[in-house]
């Protein structure tokens, strides 16, 4: 059996017959099944195989349900890797990207993915990003876009600005470089205008993983509280402080400001200690992602404030690195007894820790740790004896009555900084004129296209900024000399709306309204959880903007979301600690791993996500050559639920390869033998219909590993039947039809061998089960023989494995009595019928 030859044959047949081309039957039930499209980095890897095969199984299943299925593929083609490759290879990024797309496209076709390739998109094409530029200008008109100078996250390796979402633990999400903080003029989109809508919209996403929704909720970070005015002592100025727990005001020990608060420059004496603190914060910066993980730093200043509810109380003003200027007001009051961070600062600066809430359930020592729960107010004058909830409202009312408090809702979410100082991105369609300012490029002059010639990739600065001619233009308004905006869009912009483009990828409009009304939202979206607060949040935001601008009539892009786990592999290192590829390692006669090159022992590391840097990657092309696509597909779906990480193992894929061979050989056996037409086997009938029912539900629920396990169980039952009958062939053909979404090539081949229906499996409806053949009570009585004589009976589930039956009956008192002290030589087991113990 040449699996690769079989697969190529059926791929050609599918392509020639345009089997997967979407039919515009707009009165038919639709299913839009979409994986997150890839960055064309070079070659597809086995992680891609898993992601896309999960999606493909669902798409093939939905087609068999008679639904109109949209399943398309494209390329997220802008980004720094192409620019870096251009610099290394002295070529244009476009050439590198197109070359990679050609390779990856052939690989994805070789996997047997059922895409409608006529809808293919590539985001670096002007035909794609012209719509993005026009959309940007529409947002500018609506007041959703602005430019300002701001402190930004600067990646010194990638030489560009990163959004807050792209900074992970203080490092660039792609390069891993420690982020620097610079003041640069940037373009922003007002995602904060949609913060509340994005937060509330999560409640409607019933088929999203709770973990993703929780991550987005935390990232949006809604806080309802009150802004309180604290009067500075001896100065005609006040500090506006945001608090979510105003009831703890009488436990306040300090006011904390952000190091870059405007009042710091105006009133704080810059002692050497204060200046050192400011310099340290300026160099390191802060973000709301990693602030909880940082060491808390603080310094006392010369300022004091008057307590707003008791003028006899003065509080010191400090600077602290856990206060963010871009969250709330950049100032807060610290109540160390009832906040963990405040407690840490009070210990650091030796400030007072005063308890104002007591618990009704346990003793509290606030000098040792903060108590952050609710309770009864103490040490708070007129608030004493109130519950925390009652006290909170009383304080709010009092502050508002004095006109020194305003209730507000704040968000940790910041506006989306979309400017990137790189060449390989969508040009921002703005022209800067000394007289007129920032002027939008006229619609008739779109798209603004990246230059093909005269581009130099030196690694220093933005090539667009250094181009000899590209940026020099006339102002559209006054016609005097002007320059183009040389920043390009954050590449997450392209991936925030591509799903809508697939509805009609050749439309003259950004989104074909009629097609979008039919196809959107995406019914099933599949991709990694690492995109929870970047791509998935941006896509939800842009969808709502498109809705408000009348492009589409939906507000959420993805009805159901599956976040597939990663593919893991062990790492290997030689005696010099150099990383080794798995195919550079072999097992010796003693079961030890050695390096093929020098026969030295290899150090085996832990299971990790496959990465080129650690070489624990599996060559997809080699896998396809050795085992074929169906085996690879089956392996990445077997054993492990889609949302869990999968360990890649040679033993596992070898096992799938052997099973697929057995499946094909059994088909040949059925083809080449005369079948008997004896009475119906009720066990097989029950198992067949139960398998149809369960596998159907498993695919709907995306329990694909369970579906494969059930299919293998049915095969094992069929294979062990003592006589080949017409019923066995019928059950086997049902098995092959159920296997079709998982191993589409071989199932088509077997179907063509055994079926006389003359149709491809991909064109057939899904098998239907009949409830009358399914017995919910799947128990059966097995005869227990000892040396051929009936000695007892054993009741068990149908298809209980031999090992389990044998283990159970040898413990039965009646069986032990007949065996006595005799030696058990062997057991003869006939599934679901008898077991004969030979002693």
User: What's the pLDDT tens digit per position in 298-351?
Assistant: 999 999 999 999 999 999 999 999 898 888 899 999 999 999 999 999 999 999
Model pLDDT, residue 294: 65
Cα–Cα distance, 481 to 300 (Å, whole number): 52
Which regions of the chain carry the CATH code 2.20.28.290? Answer: 567-648
Q: How many CB atoms lie within 10 A of CB 453?
A: 9
Q: What is the DSSP secondary structure assignment for residue 498, as one 8-state letter?
A: H
Nearest in space to 411 (alpha carbons), one of 220, 191, 200: 220
Mean pLDDT, rounded, for 499-504: 98
pLDDT value at 291 more than 70: no
| Rounded (5°) CA angle 803-809-812 | 150
Nearest to 533 by CA among 173, 181, 178, 293: 173
Question: Which residue is associated with the tokens 């409608």?
Answer: 116
Task: Assign 246 to helix, strand or coil.
Answer: helix
The length of the chain in residues reads 839
Q: Is 347 helix (H, G, I), strand (E, B) or coil?
A: helix
Q: Which of 147-151, 165-169, 182-186, 278-282 has the lowest mean pLDDT?
A: 165-169
Torsion angles phi and psi, residue 743, rounded to 5: -125, 75
Instruction: Tell me the C-alpha distance between 39 and 219, whole Å.
Output: 25
Annotated binding-site members: 612
Neighbours of 67 (CB within 10 A): 17
In whole angstroms, how far apart are CA 132 and each of 126, 438, 542, 548, 771?
10, 18, 11, 16, 52
- In words, the CATH class of domain 779-838 is alpha beta
Alpha-carbon gap, residue 449 to 428, rounded angstroms: 10
Specify whether the CB–CB gap between 516 and 550 falls below 8 A: no
* Strands of the sheet with 472-474, listed across from one edge: 437-440, 430-433, 481-484, 472-474
> Could you tell me the sign of the dihedral formed by the alpha carbons of 317, 321, 322, 324, in that order?
positive
What local confidence, expressed as pLDDT, does residue 594 receive? 94
| Beta strands 558-563; 522-527: pairing state | parallel
Quote the CA–CA distance of 359 and 364 in Å, as a whole number: 7
Query: In the prediction, which pLDDT does 41 show?
Result: 85
Radius of gyration of the CA atoms of the chain, in A:
34
**CB atoms < 10 A from the CB of 221, how many?**
16
Tokens of 608: 């990790």
Q: How far, rounded to the nearest angstrom, does the alpha carbon of residue 533 sit from its chain's CA centroid?
A: 9
61/295: higher pLDDT: 61
Identify which has the larger pLDDT, 76 or 801.
Answer: 76
* DSSP annotation of 427: B
Whether 138 and 446 have beta carbons less than 8 Å apart is answered as no
* Separation of alpha carbons 607 and 588, rounded Å: 21
Chain centroid, CA 85 distance in Å: 26
Identify which has the larger pLDDT, 20 or 617. 20
**Residue ranges of the binding site for ATP:** 612
Q: Is the pLDDT of residue 285 over 60?
A: no
Specify the DSSP class assigned to residue 756. Answer: -
Separation between Cα atoms, residue 206 and residue 216, nearest integer Å = 14
Cβ 235 vs Cβ 217: under 8 Å: no
Measured CA to CA, the distance from residue 714 to residue 712 in angstroms comes to 5
- Nearest of 309, 293, 406 to residue 344 by alpha carbon: 293
**CATH number attached to the domain at 656-773:** 1.10.730.10
- Mapped onto helix, strand or coil, the DSSP state of residue 226 is strand
Our CA angle for 10, 14, 19, nearest 5°, is 150
Question: Is the pLDDT score of 812 beyond 60?
Answer: yes
Q: What is the pLDDT of residue 287?
A: 53
Q: Does the structure show a pLDDT above 70 at 293?
A: no
Taking residue 282's Cβ as centre, other Cβ atoms within 10 Å add up to: 13
- Cβ pair 345, 252 in contact under 8 A: no
The residue with tokens 């039965």 is: 812
Instruction: Assess whether pLDDT exceeds 80 at residue 461.
Output: no
Q: Which residues lie across from 256 on neighbouring strands?
A: 318, 332
The answer on pLDDT for 286 being more than 60 is no
Least confident of 58-62, 503-507, 570-574: 570-574
Q: CATH number of the domain at 567-648, out of 3.90.1170.30, 3.30.450.20, 2.20.28.290, 3.40.50.20? A: 2.20.28.290
Average pLDDT over residues 706-729: 91
Structure tokens that stand for 759 in this block: 């149709």
| Half-sphere exposure for 477 (CA within 13 Å, toward CB) | 14
Give the C-alpha distances (Å, rounded to integers) separating 32 from 19, 49, 58, 60, 560. Answer: 16, 20, 10, 12, 11
Residue for token pair 């600077």: 319
Distance, CA of 829 to chain centre:
47
- Mean pLDDT on 455-476: 90
Across 308-449, the runs of DSSP E, i.e. the strands, are 314-320, 331-334, 357-358, 376-377, 405-411, 416-417, 419-420, 430-433, 437-440
Helix (H, G, I), strand (E, B) or coil at 242: strand
Domain 222-411, CATH: 3.90.740.10
Residue 533 C-beta-side C-alpha neighbours within 13 Å = 22
pLDDT one-digit tens code per residue, 381-405: 999 999 999 999 999 999 999 999 9
Close Cβ partners of 13 (under 8 Å, ≥ 6 residues apart): 19, 748, 760
From 72, 18, 109, select the one nearest 515 (Cα to Cα).
Answer: 72
With a cut of 90, say whether residue 778 has pLDDT above it.
no
Question: In 117-136, which positions are buried (b, 16+ CB within 10 angstroms) versus exposed (e)?
Answer: bebbbbbbeeebbbbbbbbb
Report pLDDT for 282: 75
Q: Higher model confidence: residue 502 or residue 679?
A: 502
764 neighbors 737 (Cβ within 8 angstroms): yes
**For tokens 């798995």, what's the residue?**
582
Element (H, E) at 824: none
Q: What is the 3-state secondary structure of 394-405?
A: HHHHHHHHCCCE
**How far apart are alpha carbons 491 and 132 in whole angstroms?**
11
Residue from 253, 249, 248, 254 nearest 375 by CA = 248
Does the CA dihedral 93-96-99-103 come out positive or negative? negative
At residue 290, does pLDDT exceed 60?
no
Tokens matching residue 466? 């250094």
Q: Tell whether the model's pLDDT for residue 688 goes beyond 60.
A: yes
Rounded distance, CA 301 to CA 808, Å? 77
Q: Please report which residue ranges of 520-649 form alpha helices under DSSP H.
A: 535-548, 620-626, 629-637
Q: How far is CA 335 from CA 332, 341, 361, in A?
A: 10, 9, 21
Residue 701 pLDDT exceeds 60: yes
Task: Identify the helix (H) or strand (E) that includes residue 15.
Answer: helix 3-16
Mean pLDDT score of the chain = 93
pLDDT at 85 over 70: yes
The pLDDT score that the predictor gives to residue 460 is 74
Pairing of strands 74-75, 121-122: parallel
Distance CA 630, CA 2 (A): 12
pLDDT at 776: 62
**108-156 pLDDT, tens digit each:** 999 999 999 999 999 999 999 999 999 999 999 999 999 998 878 888 8
CA atoms within 13 A on the CB side of 324: 18
Q: What pLDDT shows up at residue 478?
A: 97
Residues of the chain with CATH 1.10.730.10: 656-773
Candidates 77, 194, 185; CA nearest to 132 is 77
Looking at residue 777, its pLDDT comes to 56
Question: Alpha-carbon distance 318 to 334, whole Å?
Answer: 10
Q: β-strand 567-573 against 646-647: which pairing, if any?
A: parallel
Instruction: Tell me where in the chain the CATH 3.90.740.10 domain(s) lie.
Output: 222-411
pTM: 0.87
- pLDDT at position 613: 82
């Amino acid at each position: 059996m040449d699996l690769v030859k079989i697969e190529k044959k059926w791929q050609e047949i599918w392509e020639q017959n345009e089997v997967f081309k979407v039919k515009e039957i707009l009165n038919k039930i639709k299913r839009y099944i979409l994986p997150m499209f890839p960055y064309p980095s070079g070659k597809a890897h086995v992680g891609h195989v898993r992601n896309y095969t999960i999606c493909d199984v669902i798409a093939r299943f939905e087609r068999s349900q008679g639904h109109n299925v949209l399943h398309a593929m494209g390329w997220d083609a802008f980004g720094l890797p192409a620019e870096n490759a251009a610099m290394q290879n002295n070529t244009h990024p476009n050439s590198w990207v197109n070359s990679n797309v050609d390779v990856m496209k052939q690989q994805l076709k070789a996997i047997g993915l059922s895409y409608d390739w006529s809808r293919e998109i590539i985001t670096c094409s002007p035909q794609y990003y012209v719509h993005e530029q026009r959309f940007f200008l529409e947002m500018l008109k609506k007041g959703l876009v602005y430019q300002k100078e701001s402190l930004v996250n600067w990646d010194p390796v990638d030489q560009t600005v990163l959004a807050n979402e792209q900074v992970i633990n203080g490092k660039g999400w792609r390069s891993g470089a420690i982020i620097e903080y610079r003041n640069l003029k940037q373009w922003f989109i007002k995602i904060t205008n949609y913060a509340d809508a994005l937060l509330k919209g999560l409640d409607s996403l019933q088929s999203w993983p709770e973990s993703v929704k929780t991550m987005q909720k935390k990232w949006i970070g809604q806080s309802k509280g009150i802004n309180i005015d604290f009067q500075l002592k001896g100065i005609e100025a006040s500090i506006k402080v945001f608090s979510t727990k105003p009831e703890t005001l009488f436990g306040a020990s300090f006011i904390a400001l952000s190091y870059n608060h405007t009042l710091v420059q105006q009133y704080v004496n810059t002692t050497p200690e204060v200046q050192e603190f400011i310099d340290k914060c300026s160099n390191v910066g802060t973000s709301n992602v990693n602030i909880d993980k940082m060491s808390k730093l603080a310094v006392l200043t010369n300022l004091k404030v008057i307590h707003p509810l008791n003028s006899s109380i003065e509080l010191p003003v400090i600077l602290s690195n856990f206060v963010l200027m871009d969250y709330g007001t950049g100032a807060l009051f610290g109540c160390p007894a009832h906040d963990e961070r405040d407690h840490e600062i009070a210990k650091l600066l030796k400030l007072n820790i005063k308890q104002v809430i007591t618990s009704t359930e346990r003793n509290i020592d606030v000098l040792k740790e903060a108590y952050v729960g609710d309770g009864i107010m103490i040490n708070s004058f007129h608030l004493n004896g109130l519950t925390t909830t009652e006290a909170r409202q009383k304080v709010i009312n009092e502050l508002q009555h004095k006109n020194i408090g305003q209730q507000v809702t704040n968000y940790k979410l910041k506006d989306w900084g979309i400017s990137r100082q790189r060449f390989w991105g969508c040009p921002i369609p703005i022209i800067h004129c000394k007289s007129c300012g920032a002027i939008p490029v006229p619609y008739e002059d779109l798209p603004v296209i990246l230059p093909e010639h005269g581009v130099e990739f030196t690694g220093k600065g933005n090539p667009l900024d250094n181009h000899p001619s590209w940026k020099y233009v006339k102002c559209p308004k006054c016609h005097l000399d002007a320059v183009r905006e040389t920043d390009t869009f954050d590449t997450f912009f392209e991936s925030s709306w591509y799903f809508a483009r697939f509805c009609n990828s050749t439309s003259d409009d950004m989104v074909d309204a009629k097609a979008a009304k039919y196809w959107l939202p995406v019914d099933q979206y599949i991709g990694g959880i690492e995109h929870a607060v970047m791509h998935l949040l941006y896509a939800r935001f842009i969808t709502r903007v498109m809705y408000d601008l009348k492009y589409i009539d939906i507000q959420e892009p993805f009805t159901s979301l599956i976040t597939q786990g990663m593919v893991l592999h062990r790492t290997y290192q030689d005696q010099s600690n150099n990383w080794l590829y798995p195919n550079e390692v072999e097992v010796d006669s003693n079961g030890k791993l050695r390096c093929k090159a020098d026969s030295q022992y290899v150090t085996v590391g832990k299971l990790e996500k496959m990465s080129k840097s650690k070489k624990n990657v599996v060559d997809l092309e080699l896998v396809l050559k050795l085992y074929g696509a169906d085996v690879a597909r089956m392996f990445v779906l077997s054993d492990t639920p889609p949302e869990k990480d999968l360990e890649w193992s040679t033993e596992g894929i070898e096992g799938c390869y052997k099973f697929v061979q057995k499946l094909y050989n059994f088909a040949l056996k059925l083809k080449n033998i005369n079948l008997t037409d004896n009475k119906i086997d009720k066990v097989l009938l029950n198992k067949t219909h139960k398998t149809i029912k369960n596998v159907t539900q498993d695919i709907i629920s995306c329990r694909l590993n369970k579906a494969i396990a059930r299919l293998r169980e049915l095969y094992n039952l069929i294979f062990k039947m003592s006589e080949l009958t017409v019923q066995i062939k019928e059950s086997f053909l049902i098995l092959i039809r159920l296997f079709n979404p998982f191993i589409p090539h071989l199932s088509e081949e077997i179907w063509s061998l055994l079926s006389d229906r003359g149709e491809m499996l991909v064109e057939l409806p899904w098998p239907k089960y009949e409830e009358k053949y399914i017995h919910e009570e799947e128990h059966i009585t097995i005869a227990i023989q000892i040396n051929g004589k009936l000695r007892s009976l054993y009741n068990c589930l149908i298809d209980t494995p031999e090992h389990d039956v044998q283990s159970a009956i040898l413990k039965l008192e009646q069986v032990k009595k007949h065996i006595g002290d005799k030696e058990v030589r062997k057991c003869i087991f006939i599934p679901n019928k008898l077991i004969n113990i030979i002693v």
